[in-house]
Chain A
Amino acid sequence: MDREPVRVARARLPRLDPVSGPNTDYDPVEVTPLKPEEVEAARDAALAAIAAAADLAELKQVRIEHTGDRSPLALANREIGALPPQARKEAGQRIGQARGAVNQALAARQEVLEAEHEERMLVEETVDVTLPTDRVPTGARHPLTTGAELISDIFVAMGWEVAEGPVIEAEWLNFDALNLGPDHPARTMQDTFWTEPAENHLVLRTHTSPVQARTMLSRQPPIYVVCPGRVFRTDEYDATHSPVFHQVEGLAIDEGITMAHLKGTLDHFAARMFGDGINTRFRPSYFPFTEPSAEVDLVCFVCRGSGEVDGAPCRTCRGEGWIEWGGCGVVNPRVLRACGVDPERYTGFAFGMGIDRTLMFRHGIEDLRALFEGDTRFTTAFGTEL
C-alpha cells in the first residue's frame, strides 16, 4: 500500500533555551521553560499539531516532538526538580496538567486515525466477489444410488431392513422358488440372460425377487425387508428400455398380514416419495409369485390426479391422472412353502417397481440412457443426496 509522505508542523514549535543547571540556593528562580505562558504555549502548540496530524505516521512524529524526551514539556518537567520545594508544587501541577491534556489529545487522535486507517484499508482490500470460485470440481453420487438410499431410508424408518443378494443368481432362486416353474408361461415374460453353459442353471437375475427368497430361506418371520438392486433383461437399449436397470422390491411376512397392509405400506411409501396426499390404487393383475396380484398406480404428483396442468393435459401422467408404478400382491402360499415359511401360520405381501423409471418421472428425465452414460453434467445436478 502506498503511504502518504509524512508532513510535520515544525514551524510552530517554540524555541527552547538550554536546560538549566541544578538549583542550589533553593530560592524560587524563574526558569524560562516553567513560565506559565511558555507551558501553555508548548501545550497549545502540541494540541494544534495533534489536531493537524493527518495520519498515523504524522501523529507518531507529533508524539515524538511534543512528548518525547526533548520536547518542551518534557524539558520543563525535568526543570521542576530545580525549583525550590515551595515552587515545585505549582509548577508540577501546571506542567502535569499540560502534559495530561496533550496525552489525552494524542490518544483521542490516535483512535480517530486508527479507525480512519482501518476503514481505508478495508476499502482498499475490496475484491470482485463475482470472480469464479470453482477451483476444485464438484463431486456427486449417482441418482440411482441416492434414490435407492432414499427409498431404503423410508422403509428403514418403518422398521424394515434392507436386504441384498448377488446379481448372478441360481435359476432356482430366480424362477422356481418364486412359483415360476420351468414350464410356467410367465417365464416367457422374462427375457433372461443366461450364463454359459446354460446347463449350469445360472442367470443374471431378472428381478430382485431372489433376494426375497434368500431372506425367507435364511430366517423365520416376522420379515420386513426392502430389496433394491440391479437387474437384467435382454431388452434392446433405447430411451425407455435398458438391459440393465434397477428395481426395488418389498416383502413383509407376518401373522395376519393382508392386502390392506400392502395398500397402507404403498400409500405411505408414495406419500414419502412424492408428497403428502399422493396415494395409490390397485388394478387386478397377474404375477406368479403373488395371488391375488395387482398393478399399482400412483396418483400423479404433478396434476394431483386431475390429469390437467394449466388447462393442458398433464405431461407427467399423459393426462391420465395416474402413473403406473409397479406390481404387488399377496405372496403366493406356494412361494412361502418353497422357502420354508409355514403358509398356514403366516401370510405376506410383496411389491416391486423400477427405480430408474420412478426417478424418470419423479425428476422428469426424458431419456433413460442419461442414467448410464456417465456424463458428469447429468449426475452433478443431483448432488450427493436425492
Chain B
Amino acid sequence: MKAPVSWIREYVDLPAGVTTDELTARLTALGLKLEGIHSAGADITGPLVVGRVLTVEPEPQKNGKTINWCSVDVGAANGTGEPQGIVCGAHNFAPGDLVVVILPGGVLPGNFQISARKTYGHLSAGMICSARELGLGEDHDGIIVLPADAGQPGDDAFEVLGLREEVIEFEINPDRAYALSLRGIAREAALAFGAPYRDPAARTVPEPNDLGHPVEIDDPAGCPVFVARKVTGFDPAAPTPDWMALRLQQAGMRPISLAVDVTNYVMLETGRPIHGYDAHKLTGPIRVRRAREGERLTTLDGVDRALSPEDLVVTDDSGIIGLGGVMGGETTEMSASTTNILVEAAHWDAVSMFRTGKRHKIGSEAGKRNERGVDPVITPAAADRVVELLTTYGGGTADPGVTVVGTPPAPPQITISYDLPARVTGIDIDAAATVANLEAVGCTLDKADSTLTATPPPWRPDLNDPFDLVEEVARIVGYDRVPSVLPREAAGRGLSREQRLRRRVGRTLAGAGCVEVISFPFVGDAAFDALGLPADDVRRRTVRLANPLSSEEPSYTTTLLPGLLKAGARNIGRGATGVALFETGTVAFPTDRGPAPIYGVDWRPSDDELAKLFEALPEQPLHLAVVLAGERERAGWWGSGRDAGWSDAIGLVRRLAAELGVGLEVESATRAPWHPGRCAQVRVNGVELGHAGELHPKVCQAFGLPARSAAVEIDLDLLMRHARDVTPGPEFSTYPLAKEDVALVVADGVTAAAVEAALREGAGPLLESVRLFDVYTGEQVGEGRTSLAFALRFRAPDRTLTEEETAAARDAAVALAAERTGAVQRS
C-alpha cells in the first residue's frame, strides 16, 4: 500500500516539523511495516520549469531523422526573459503547448548533466523532457505536454508534476485490512502522534429511498449490504483531474478514465472497493445470489470462467453480470461512451471473497480488500463520495434514487479483565491505560467493576478475541516496553537418544574424511533410470507432489543417492580429484492409508482421531547415504594415492556399526545401482539395513562419476534403533600374547567371513583375535583356489600360554575351518 504523505496529512493534523522518517518510525512501532519511501524526481536537481513552446521548425537530417528547432518561453527562469532555443527530437507537441524544460545546470536521473551544447547546427540550451527522462515512467512516445491550465512559463515544474513528494510504501499485514486505505493509515498516524483526525468517510449521505435501481439480495450472509446509486449525463470524455491522476500514480495505480479513476480513488481513500456499471447495459433489477452449477461468466479481463456454486454473482435480467466483490463482467462494463453510471458499493462476506479469488486465481485490488474485511458501515458514504466526484468532474447529475439493501453485520462484544494486557505482555499496564488505549483504537467500552466489554469499531473486523485487544493495547503502549525476563528454569531431559546418536553418526563419518551435504529431496524418473532401478523397484513408488516446482522432479525422494551422486559429480566437475560425501535425510514411501482427516479447531481431537491422522502419513525413515569417488587417499611425496572402491564403502558401514556398538552382517547381494559382483547387503539381526559397494559402471557413467565410484545407502533409523546404549567396560588380559599365522587354501566362492567364523569358533576361548592379512591367488595354489592368510592371536586371562596350548588351539581352529569350508592348510 503506497500512501503519499500529503494525502495522509489531509486527514490528520500532524505536529509541525514531523519528518517522514519520524512518521514511518512511529507507524512501524504501531505495526504498519515500512516497505520503503519513494520520492519521484528526488534525483533531479533544478532548474526544472514550465515552458510554453513558441515556434517549432522541423529540420530533416542526413541520418533520416527530423529534429525540431524550438524556441520556448521559460519566463524569467533563464535570467533573461528571452525565449530559450532548444533542439527536440519528439514530435507530439505544437506551438502554444506547455512543456517541461530542464535548463542548463540541471541534472536528470542517472546523473545526466544538462548544459548548453552545440547539436544539429544549433546551440541547444536545455531539454524538453519526457516522462521517462524524469524517471516518472516508461512512457517515451514523446515529451510531456502539460494541460493548458497547468501553470505559467517559468513556474517550478517540480510542484506542477508533484515531484519530490514523499510516498510511503507499507507492507500491510493481513489482519490490518483497514490500513489498505488512506482513511486507515491516517487514523494510525493520528494515533501515533495523538493528533486530530478527520474521517474522510464521515459524511452526510442522502436517505435511502425506493427511487433507485431495484436490488435484491438472495444471500444476505454473502452480501449483507448493497448500495446502488446512479449518475446520469456523465461526460465520458471528461478528463481525470491532475491531482487525482497524480495520487493514483503515486499509489501505484494507472489512471484510465475518469469513471474508473474515481472508483479507484474512493477505494484508496476509504478502503471500500466500488464497481461501476454502464447503466444503459443493465436490464432489470440487480440480484445477488450464489452461482449455479454450469454457469459461466466472461470477466472484465476477457477470461471466460466456469463458476462454482460457492461463487457470489451479481445478475440482472440478462444473466450474470459480475463476480460479486471480485471482478465485473464484460457485458455491463463502462466504456468510452458510457454516460449513465450505476455505482455499486457492496459489503461482501470475506471468506467467500477469499475462496472465489483463490478458485479463479484473481488477485485484484478490490478482492484483496474484500477478502480481508472492509468497514461495512461506510458503504453508503463510499457510494456517495463516488457520486460526488463523478458529478463534480464528469459533469453529470446525481440520480435522486438511493438504493440501500441490508444492514451491516453486528460487531462482536469482547469481554476482558482490566489486567489482561499486563498479564499477557508483562508490561506494567494499569486499568486506565487499558481503557484509554482501547478507546483510542475506536472501541466502545462497557466498563464493569472487574471486566470491561469492548465493541470494536466497524473498520476492525480483525478484533474478535480477548488477546486481539491485548495486542491493540500493547502496540500503543509500545513493544519496546516489554521487559526482558528469562522464564523459570525448566528441568529438561537433554537431547534424546536419537538426537545424540545422529550427532555421533555425523562425527564418525566426518572423522572418516566424509563431507556432509544437504540436497533437495525431489526426484523424478530420470534419476531412477540413471540409477538403473528395475520397473518394479519399490523405490519407484513415490509420494508425488500435486504442485512440484519442476515436472522433471515431481516426487519426494525414496533414496538419497540421486542428490548425492549429483553433488559428487559436481565436485569432480569442478576439479576435485576425489570426493567423499554423506547425507542424512528423510525419504518417503507411500502407505496409501487414505486421506488425513481435517478436524475442527475448537477442541483437541481425541487420541483415536489423532492416531488416524498420524497413520495417514507416508513412511518417512531417516536414511544415510555415502558416495566415494576418485582419490580416497592422495598421491604425494609419500608415494602414490589410492582410489576409493567397494571396500571403502563397506568399511564405512562397518566403522559406523562399530561406533554404535551394532553387530553387522555383510553378505553379497545384487541390487541397483550397485555393481552386481561388488555389492554387499548389510544386515542387523538378519534384517536388511541397506547396501554398500561399488556402483555399476553404467551408473557412474550416467552421473558423470569416475569409474569404480562406490556408495552406501542404509536405513539410519534402523541402525540407531539397534545402537548399544551402555557400553560394558571391556576386560582384557595382560599376559604375553601368543601368535600363530595360518594360510588356508579354499575353493573360489568360499567367503573369507565363513573361514574366519570357523577359525574363531574352532580356536575356542583362548583366541583373542583373528585378522585376515593376505589373500593370494595364482599358480602356487592352483586354478580356482584362493589362499587366505590369517593372523591368530591367543592369550589367556590368567596365565602365560604354553606352546602346546597355543598349537592345540590353532590346530582346532584349522580343523574346524577344514570341516566347514574345505580349507586346506598351506604347508
Contacts and interface: CB of A to CB of B under 8 A. Distances in A.
A230 B581 CA distance: 20
A292 B475 contact: yes
Interface in A313-361: 330, 332-334, 337-340, 347
Interface string B20-41: 0000000011110100000000
A168 B618 contact: yes
A265 B636 contact: no
Contact of A204 (B471, B545, B580): B545
B471 A234 contact: no
Contacts of A294: 479
Interface centre among A139, A182, A257 (most CB of B within 10 A): A139
Given A158-B486, A166-B617, A292-B474, A194 B174 contact: no
Contacts of B519: 372, 374
Contacts of A37: none
B202 interface: no
A44 interface: no
Q: Report which residue of A199, A292, A332 has the largest number of chain B beta carbons within 10 angstroms of its beta carbon.
A: A292
B510 A285 contact: no
Contacts of A196: 543-546
* Interface bracket on B: 35 or more
Interface stretch (A24-32, A69-77, A184-192): A184-192
B491 A159 contact: yes
B185 to A, nearest CB: 15
A293 interface: yes
Contacts of B636: 132, 134-135
A141 B468 CA distance: 44
Interface in B416-473: 423-427, 465-468, 470-471
Contacts of B647: none
Given A134-B634, A194-B545, A200-B595, A374 B567 contact: yes
A193 B517 contact: no
B514 interface: yes
A379 B545 contact: no
B351 interface: yes
A5 B516 CA distance: 60
A196 B555 CA distance: 9
Contacts of A138: 513
A283 interface: yes
A283 B479 contact: yes
A180 B544 CA distance: 24
Contacts of A337: 601-604
B643 to A, nearest CB: 12
B724 interface: no
Contact of B355 (A161, A183, A234, A257): A183
Given A172-B598, A198-B546, A284-B31, A131 B486 contact: no
Given A131-B637, A200-B596, A384-B507, A268 B486 contact: yes
Given A285-B31, A374-B571, A168 B617 contact: yes
A139 B601 contact: no
A286 B521 CA distance: 31
Interface string A253-282: 010011111111101100000000001011
A156 B492 contact: yes
A333 B596 CA distance: 24
B596 A171 contact: yes
Which residue, A189, A200, A281, A295, has most C-beta atoms of chain B within 10 A?
Answer: A200
A142 interface: yes
A102 B484 CA distance: 87
A179 interface: yes
B571 to A, nearest CB: 6
B221 interface: no
Contact of A202 (B507, B571, B617): B617
A177 interface: yes
A267 to B, nearest CB: 5
Nearest to B598: A172
Contacts of A291: 465, 467-468, 470-471
A197 B595 CA distance: 9
A41 interface: no
A332 B467 contact: yes
Interface string A71-93: 00000000000000000000000
A334 B601 contact: yes
A173 B489 CA distance: 29
> Which of A137, A181, A261: most chain B Cβ within 10 A?
A137
B613 interface: yes
B547 A224 contact: no
A259 to B, nearest CB: 4
Interface stretch (B8-16, B495-503, B742-750, B776-784): B495-503
B520 interface: yes
B569 to A, nearest CB: 10
A32 to B, nearest CB: 57
Contacts of B475: 284, 292
B796 to A, nearest CB: 37
Contact of A260 (B426, B570, B599): B426
A330 B174 contact: no
A107 interface: no
A265 B486 contact: yes
Contacts of A204: 545, 556
B354 A197 contact: no
The interface size bin for chain A is 35 or more
B352 to A, nearest CB: 9
Given A168-B588, A193-B547, A176 B599 contact: yes
Contacts of B520: 243-244, 372
A217 interface: yes
A252 interface: yes
Contact of B490 (A137, A145, A160, A258): A160
B513 A135 contact: no
Contact of B174 (A132, A189, A260, A267): A189
Nearest to B422: A258
A142 B585 CA distance: 12
A252 B520 CA distance: 31
A371 interface: yes
B638 interface: yes
A376 B354 CA distance: 47
Given A258-B426, A292-B475, A333-B467, A197 B571 contact: no
Nearest to B637: A131
Given A195-B543, A373-B570, A179 B499 contact: no
A254 B598 contact: no
A285 B372 CA distance: 16
Contacts of A371: 518
B304 to A, nearest CB: 24
Contacts of B576: 376
Contacts of B489: 158-159
A333 B465 contact: yes
Contacts of A168: 543, 556, 588, 617-618, 620
Contacts of B33: 283, 285, 295
B482 interface: yes
B664 interface: no
A244 B521 contact: yes
Contacts of B510: 139-141, 384
A176 B176 CA distance: 21
B141 to A, nearest CB: 34
B571 A376 contact: yes
A200 B174 contact: no
B467 A281 contact: no
Nearest to A161: B492
B799 interface: no
Per CB-CB distance, the 3 closest pairs between chain A and chain B, nearest first, are: A260-B426, A374-B567, A340-B604
5 contacts: A159-B491, A202-B617, A283-B479, A337-B601, A338-B604
Interface of A: 131-132, 134-142, 144-145, 149, 152, 156, 158-162, 164, 166-173, 176-177, 179, 181-183, 185-186, 188-189, 193-202, 204, 217, 222, 224, 230, 234, 236-237, 243-244, 252, 254, 257-265, 267-268, 279, 281-286, 291-295, 330, 332-334, 337-340, 347, 371-376, 379-380, 384
